[in-house]
Amino acid sequence: MQLRKELEGARYNNSALLDQNANLQAEIDALNNHIRVLQLQNEDLTKELDQFVEANEAIRMRLDRKNRVQEIRQKNERQLQQSIAHVNDARSPPRERRPN
């Protein structure tokens, strides 16, 4: 009789543990599915952020005119120096003053 009670208790515990195991496995499957969804969302967000970064870099390059301004200034400075040299070369030599 005592062994039957212990056996019945063990069967009940086994049944309860199998139910718990099934519930936990269902929860694990649901969490794995959720993980897959989050991974896909993460990949999409990463792609979107990469595109945003590329667009941002392109805009920065267009807006960063410092180098272009320096190039234009240098070109203007060279042209100004050439023009001044040309004017100086084109002038007639200064007249010498003769003492009276």
Q: State pLDDT tens for residues 56-82.
A: 999 888 887 888 888 999 999 999 999
Q: What is the pLDDT of residue 95?
A: 67
Better pLDDT: 73 or 100: 73
d(CA 34, CA 42): 12
Interior angle at CA 51, CA 48 and CA 56, nearest 5: 125
Q: What is the DSSP string of the chain?
A: -HHHHHHHHHHHHHHHHHHHHHHHHHHHHHHHHHHHHHHHHHHHHHHHHHHHHHHHHHHHHHH--HHHHHHHHHHHHHHHHHHHHHHHHHSPPPPPPPP-
pLDDT score of 44 more than 90: yes
pTM over 0.85: no
d(CA 62, CA 68): 10
Q: What is the pLDDT of residue 60?
A: 85
Cα–Cα distance list, 19 to 3, 14, 31 (Å): 24, 9, 18
